[in-house]
Homo-oligomer: A and B are copies of this chain.
Amino acid sequence: MDETTAVRAMSALAHAHRLAIFRTLIAAGPSGLSAGEVARAVGIGATSLSFHMKELDRAGLTRSWRVGRFIRSSVEVEAVRRLFGFLVDDCCQGRPELCGGGLTANAVVCCGQDDNESNR
């Protein structure tokens, strides 16, 4: 993960609607939701959802795929993990004796090692 990628990801989450979309999709799990379902859940219009969903996809935080007339989207769990890692991986320069707890940076997100089939 480079800085540009990380900034793009943070920017994608730095918006009330997109954060709500992201959290809605995190809750939905690997099978995701259709654009319409997300728009309804978040309370925004189709145009607005499309705009914001595209931002999340572009940032690599979500993935979208077509199922008939619907576009389903879900969170790219691995990307979230990499993002968290990028933020904190150099914590205390990796010298735990500088810190109290002394854990090396680590971020774990639900849904295991990412891809768990479902209807992708």
Interface residues, chain A, CB within 8 Å of chain B? 3-4, 6-7, 10-11, 13-16, 19-20, 22-23, 26-31, 80, 84, 86-88, 90-93, 95-96, 98-113, 116
Residue A3 contacts which of B19, B30, B96 (CB distance < 8 angstroms)?
Answer: B19
Residue A92 contacts which of B16, B100, B106, B110 (CB distance < 8 angstroms)?
Answer: B110
A77 to B: closest C-beta gap in Å: 8
Q: Point out the residues of chain B lying under 8 angstroms from A86, CB to CB.
A: 23
Q: Point out the residues of chain B lying under 8 angstroms from A88, CB to CB.
A: 26, 80, 109-110
Contact B87 A111, beta carbon cutoff 8 Å = no
Q: Point out the residues of chain B lying under 8 angstroms from A91, CB to CB.
A: 26-27, 29, 109-111
Contact B99 A29, beta carbon cutoff 8 Å = yes
Contact B26 A87, beta carbon cutoff 8 Å = yes
Residue A10 contacts which of B14, B95, B100 (CB distance < 8 angstroms)?
Answer: B14
Can you name 15 A-B residue pairings with CB atoms under 8 Å? A6-B19, A10-B19, A11-B14, A23-B86, A23-B87, A26-B87, A27-B90, A80-B87, A88-B109, A91-B110, A96-B110, A103-B108, A103-B111, A105-B108, A105-B109
